[in-house]
Amino acid sequence: MDERSDTELLLASRAEPVAFVELYRRHAEDVLRYFARRTLDPEAAAELTAETFAEAYASRRNYRDTGTNGVAWLYGIARHQLGRFFRTGMIDAAARRRIGIAREALPADDYERIEELVDLAPIREALVEALGTLAEDQRDALRLRVIDGLGYQEVAQRLGCAEAAARQRVSRGLRRIAMVLQERGLTLATEVE
Amino acid sequence: MDSEFEFLRRFEGELSARARADARREASPKPTYPRRWKPWLAAAALLLVLAAGIGALASSGLSGSESSMAAGGAQVNERNPQPLVPSASSAPNSQVKSGLNGYTLGSANDAGSATQAPDVQQNDQPGSSGQPADLSKIIRDGQIAVTIEDGTFKAAAGSVAHIAAVNGGSILSSSTEGGDSGSFTIRIPAANFDKAMVQLGQLGTIDSSASQGQDVTAQYVDLKAHMKIYLSRRRVLFGLMDKATTIGQSLTLQNQLDQVQLKIDQITGQINYINKQVAESTIKVDVHEPGAAVAESPDSIDNPSLGRAWDRAVQGLLNVVAATLIGLGYLIPLLIVAGIVVLIVRSVRRRRVADDEA
């Protein structure tokens, strides 16, 4: 167990790249949760997490110790990624390409686990209202999954589609809702930093 | 990593591999990367070519505007440029000295004019018809080459002399070659220039004919203005001289008067020279029988010469260098401005990213 602080790890990672991996181990799940609660979309959250760490690794030499915890710098990159996601609706993969890490599909098990990270209770009312802005298939999928709390297998049976398709409809619906709520200035989740 | 998320574990694996690879690269001696000089060289070459192009364009534009400005409606004589004005020593001395001070005091309206050469005033007085005088001063010169019939060169040479004489002029110089060709330079009154050119052309078949006009009006007007100022100054000095009570005052005024008179003499000479140049025209006449070797002036002989080729090559090189320098003069300020803009944009973008990350 590396006992160096986040700042020390970041500074050390300039000459000792492996030190950055320890930083990743410490904060990867927190960053994932951060994105999941803001995007409501497991796929987007996973992609944004990977891109954030890739960007941090690629630009670790630019980090300057300003007296604050090094992890604040990491969340600065995360906020930047999130802002771009909400502005464009797309997730960049430039940093991953730069360091030679391929984009990968999110495993099904991870998908549901990430959903569990999202505490939907505080936004349930806003969700119901935002549902009206969705396409019908997405709205049905979301209602079954988020409001009725059914598993994806059951959602797929109810909708008469494959489980992957059901997951995709839920994912797109949640992403759309997250954007609508973001536009309305609603805070979707508590801070994790 | 003990994360329950498989994708996070996978990503960690890839990140670790990348970090280890980077660590190995950091530890091993840094490979010497080939210097990226080619793009810079290409960019520099492109810049120079661009600069040369711009310089050539700018030079041609400037020379075009200069020639059009100088021409002023008349063609500039580039082949045989002559000094517009003689030096002070060549100016005719027109001063008349008499009395205690050595100068004649003129009349009240313009005393100085009484001491000037008469032809200074002759060309800009109103005409007898009451029309305003034509102040334009244009020096006209011409060249004409004529082919005459076999065996008629002697007669043609006589005709050239006759044409010069009937037009009030004379032959300044002549040269003949082989008894069948010759070159003549004649001076005639400017008023008969066109008539003389026509008559010379009638000697035979015209091979070439050209005339040039050199507008010296602006210089003439300047000289007249200076003359007026110096005449006025001289009048004042004469007045002071009359009132001088001591030998010291007289000597000082005399010294100043000498200087003013010298200037007046110089300007008078220059004005007379221009008047003379304007009043008379020079025509260079080449007359030759068919098949005769044309008598040419040394500067028109065009034999192949390595020396001349070398001179041309050097001249061409210098022209290219000059054009490039001119072009760089245009480009460098633009590049500096572009560089500043790029630096500002980069700075703003970095600051924005840093703010986001903070």
A111 lies in a domain? no
Which pLDDT value is given to residue B99?
37
Model confidence at B353: pLDDT above 60: yes
Task: Tell me the C-alpha distance between B189 and B192, whole Å.
Answer: 6
Per the CB < 8 A criterion, the answer to whether A173 and A147 are in contact is: no
Q: Are strands B280-288 and B205-215 parallel, antiparallel or unpaired?
A: unpaired
Which pLDDT value is given to residue B74?
37
The residue ranking higher by pLDDT, B161 or B68, is B161
Helix axis angle for B37-71 and B306-357, nearest 10°, is 120
- End residue of a domain, out of A35, A64, A99: A99
Which pLDDT value is given to residue B130?
47
Report chain B's mean pLDDT, rounded to a whole number. 75
CATH number at residue A155: 1.10.10.10
pLDDT for B123-151, tens place per residue?
444 444 444 455 678 888 899 999 998 88
Which pLDDT value is given to residue B76?
36
CATH number at residue A40: 1.10.1740.10
Model confidence at B105: pLDDT above 70: no
A26 lies in a domain? yes
What is the DSSP secondary structure assignment for residue B284, as one 8-state letter? E
A192 lies in a domain? no
Task: Tell me the C-alpha distance between B116 and B264, whole Å.
Answer: 9
Which pLDDT value is given to residue B8?
92
B353 in contact with A, Cβ within 8 Å: yes
- Residues of chain B neighbouring A104 (CB-CB closer than 8 A): 7, 10
Based on the domain organization, do A63 and A123 belong to the same domain?
no
Task: Tell me the C-alpha distance between A51 and B11, whole Å.
Answer: 10
A17 lies in a domain? yes
Model confidence at B268: pLDDT above 50: yes
A108 lies in a domain? no
Model confidence at B314: pLDDT above 50: yes
For B3-29, what is the mean pLDDT? 88
Based on the domain organization, do A80 and A127 belong to the same domain?
no
Based on the domain organization, do A85 and A134 belong to the same domain?
no
For B191-205, what is the mean pLDDT? 90
Instruction: Print burial letters for B88-102: b (CB count within 10 Å at least 16), e (below 16).
Output: eeebeebeeeeeebe
First-last CA distance in chain A: 22
Which pLDDT value is given to residue A124?
62
pLDDT for A4-57, tens place per residue?
888 889 999 988 999 999 999 999 999 998 888 888 888 889 999 999 999 999
Based on the domain organization, do A95 and A130 belong to the same domain?
no
Q: How long, in residues, is chain A?
A: 193
A46 in contact with B, Cβ within 8 Å: yes
Minimum distance, in Å, between the CA of residue A132 and any CA atom of chain B = 33
Q: What is the pLDDT along chain A (193 residues), one digit of tens a residue?
A: 778 888 889 999 988 999 999 999 999 999 998 888 888 888 889 999 999 999 999 999 888 887 777 888 898 899 899 888 888 878 888 899 989 988 888 888 888 888 777 766 666 666 667 777 788 888 888 878 877 778 888 888 888 888 888 888 888 888 887 777 777 665 554 333 3
Report the range out of A61-65, B11-15, B27-31 with the highest average pLDDT. Answer: B11-15
Task: Tell me the C-alpha distance between A70 and B355, whole Å.
Answer: 15
A193 lies in a domain? no
pLDDT for B151-184, tens place per residue?
888 888 899 999 999 999 888 888 887 788 889 9
Based on the domain organization, do A37 and A85 belong to the same domain?
yes
Minimum distance, in Å, between the CA of residue B34 and any CA atom of chain A = 21
Mutation target vs B (from A25, A71, A98; most B CBs, 10 A cutoff): A25
Based on the domain organization, do A11 and A87 belong to the same domain?
yes
Report how many domains make up chain A. Answer: 2
Decide if B6 and A109 are in contact by the 8 Å CB cutoff. yes
pLDDT band at B265 (very low <50, low <70, confident <90, very high): very high
Based on the domain organization, do A71 and A134 belong to the same domain?
no
Give burial (CB, 10 Å; 0-12/13-18/19+) of A85.
Answer: buried
| pLDDT over 90 percentage in chain B | 20
A189 lies in a domain? no
A60 lies in a domain? yes
Based on the domain organization, do A133 and A87 belong to the same domain?
no
pLDDT for B205-243, tens place per residue?
898 888 888 888 888 899 999 999 999 999 998 888 888
Q: What is the pTM of this model?
A: 0.39
In three state form, how does the secondary structure of B46-109 look? Answer: HHHHHHHHHHHHHHHHHHHHHHHHHHCCCCCCCCCCCCCCCCHHHCCCCCCCCCCCCCCCCCCC
Minimum distance, in Å, between the CA of residue A44 and any CA atom of chain B = 13
A112 in contact with B, Cβ within 8 Å: no
Quote the domain boundaries for residue A56.
Answer: 6-99
Based on the domain organization, do A74 and A127 belong to the same domain?
no
Based on the domain organization, do A45 and A84 belong to the same domain?
yes
Partner-chain residue, chosen from A18, A28, A104, that has the shortest CB–CB distance to B23 = A18
- Residues of chain B neighbouring A109 (CB-CB closer than 8 A): 6
Based on the domain organization, do A93 and A134 belong to the same domain?
no
Based on the domain organization, do A67 and A143 belong to the same domain?
no
